A and B are shown apart, each in its own frame.
Chain A
Amino acid sequence: MIDKFRSDVLSVVDAVPSGASIAVGGFGSSGRPDALIDALCELDRRDLHVYVNNVGHDFTGVGRLLHEGRLRRVTASFPILQEFYDEYFAGRVELELIPQGTLAERMRAGGAGIPAFFTPSGAGTMLSDGSFTLRYSPEGGVAEHVPAKETRMINGREYVLEEGIVADFGFVKAHKADRKGNLRFRLSARNFNPMAGMSGRTTFAEIEQLVDVDELHPDDVHLPGVFVDDLVMSTGKAPATDEPAAAATRKAS
């Protein structure tokens, strides 16, 4: 019988070694897999390369990894956290800044077997021409730039070649799951989670509810269990009601 649910998050995340790359879902704190990230800290993993949209506003989530000095590189579109930038400018963490849609599509492509694709986003800018600083020197000045990206003119317009992301691990937060790993997300907490789940060679999902295997209608599965290896319970606060969006819609009408 397939049963991907595990009761102990630490024994699941123990598979992640120091130095690993991890695609992380979430937009700000919405849909962010904090239980999985916290487990990395409990297990004292370091030297991590995290693909994530935001580092965050505080020292929770990826912000905690930053605060505890566990990050080697962040690939992101909008880091936010000032302490992240302090570490970046001090040469203690690398930043590969990419457009938000490029981050989403790179994760999706990596999981879909597409090694690279051309996009118009970022053409003719610092984020494609090799002038963006990947790493500062601790002594001051630039230690390394993000390499210039290949470009091509297609139908008279310039496009940038961006590579798919296949991360060692995908960290995902979902609203509901069944034992086969089928996932359903809730409202805008979906965001990068399906992409992060696709991108990981091995993907862990933390969930708010474990439901019977016939409860999720096949039409309602957002990310099929084929992308998911292990499920753990989320430690985050579950929403008070199941479908407040319906209430919000009624109010708006």
Chain B
Amino acid sequence: MTDTIPAPAPVTGRTREGIAERLAQDLQDGYVVNLGVGIPLLVPRFLPADKEVVLHAENGVLGIGGDADPHEADPDLTDAGKQPITLIPGAAITDSALSFAIIRGGHLDATILGALQVSASGDLANWYVPGKNPAVGGAMDLVAGTPQVWVAMEHVDRKGRPKIVAECTMPLTGKGVVTRVYTDLAVFHVVDGQLRLVECAPGVTPEDVRARTGAPYTEHLAG
């Protein structure tokens, strides 16, 4: 069905940094958050100074302070992407079982992930493209346990096909787990298993969003 949508005229929404900046506005003071690779890793640079947000890495770090400079890099202190990091004051280190007790037990406030596809009911596909190398990491634990699962992604894929779809065609990471979607064009919330368009990016119309979205949704735009 998605292949039959005629290519809409080009529209310019937010940049990747702009998506991260918009999402960062919704993080609340005191949140403990896990960040996936891609656009989510851009979020920390847009955190306002008056909000204290604790970043968790699934290899057992609560309180990432940022990337380590080469001279201070320590092979015993890395994030989940195996990159050298620093710690904030008040950081804590755990083993992997306790780290995933934090994740699975619902003790994070939000997890921010990239996605291949999000379905109309909040299903997420983000771990495996059939035919490529399968690897899952902590993605399935993060979406199973975290109360708020926020997806940050481009609205359409490189071929212009919608990534928000009626049903995921890619293998699922979790069913009905996504609570918000932030894209270059719009912000969606998932409420009671249904997608709601709550915001269009500056210069983007609801019609622009509709033409590039492969799933049914309702509009709940402010103003």
- Chain A's closest residue to B74 (CB) is A244
Is B77 within 8 A of A188, CB to CB? yes
Of residues B61, B140, B144, which shows the largest number of chain A Cβ atoms within 10 Å of its Cβ?
A: B140
Q: What is A's interface to B at a CB cutoff of 8 Å?
A: 27-31, 53, 57, 77-80, 82, 85, 95, 97-105, 107-108, 119-127, 132, 175, 185-195, 222, 237, 239, 244-245, 247-249, 251-253
- A30 in contact with B76 given A125-B174, A191-B95, A252-B88 (CB within 8 Å): yes
Is A100 within 8 A of B86, CB to CB? no
Is A187 within 8 A of B100, CB to CB? no
Q: How far is the CA of A188 from the CA of B148 in the complex (A)?
A: 26
- Chain B's closest residue to A194 (CB) is B95
User: Known pairs A104-B96, A190-B60, A251-B86. 16 more at Cβ < 8 A?
Assistant: A77-B135, A77-B138, A78-B137, A79-B135, A105-B97, A120-B104, A121-B140, A188-B76, A188-B93, A189-B75, A195-B95, A239-B74, A248-B77, A249-B65, A249-B91, A252-B87
Is B135 within 8 A of A125, CB to CB? no
Which of these, A28, A97, A100, A248, contacts B74 with CB under 8 Å? A248
- Chain B's closest residue to A159 (CB) is B144
- A104 in contact with B76 given A79-B133, A127-B136, A251-B86 (CB within 8 Å): no
Is A125 within 8 A of B173, CB to CB? yes
For A247, what are the chain B residues with a Cβ–Cβ distance below 8 Å? 72
Q: What is B's interface to A at a CB cutoff of 8 Å?
A: 57-61, 65-66, 68, 72, 74-78, 82, 86-89, 91, 93-97, 99-100, 103-104, 128, 133-141, 144-145, 171-175
Which of these, A80, A95, A124, A222, contacts B172 with CB under 8 Å? A124
- Chain B's closest residue to A246 (CB) is B87
Is B136 within 8 A of A100, CB to CB? yes
- A252 in contact with B89 given A120-B145, A125-B140, A244-B74 (CB within 8 Å): yes
Is B91 within 8 A of A126, CB to CB? no
Which of these, B86, B97, B128, contacts A107 with CB under 8 Å? B97
Q: How far is the CA of A198 from the CA of B183 in the complex (A)?
A: 44
Which of these, B82, B96, B172, B173, contacts A28 with CB under 8 Å? B82
For B133, what are the chain A residues with a Cβ–Cβ distance below 8 Å? 79, 82, 85
Of residues B57, B61, B173, which shows the largest number of chain A Cβ atoms within 10 Å of its Cβ?
A: B173
- A100 in contact with B100 given A124-B175, A251-B86, A252-B89 (CB within 8 Å): yes
For A28, what are the chain B residues with a Cβ–Cβ distance below 8 Å? 78, 82
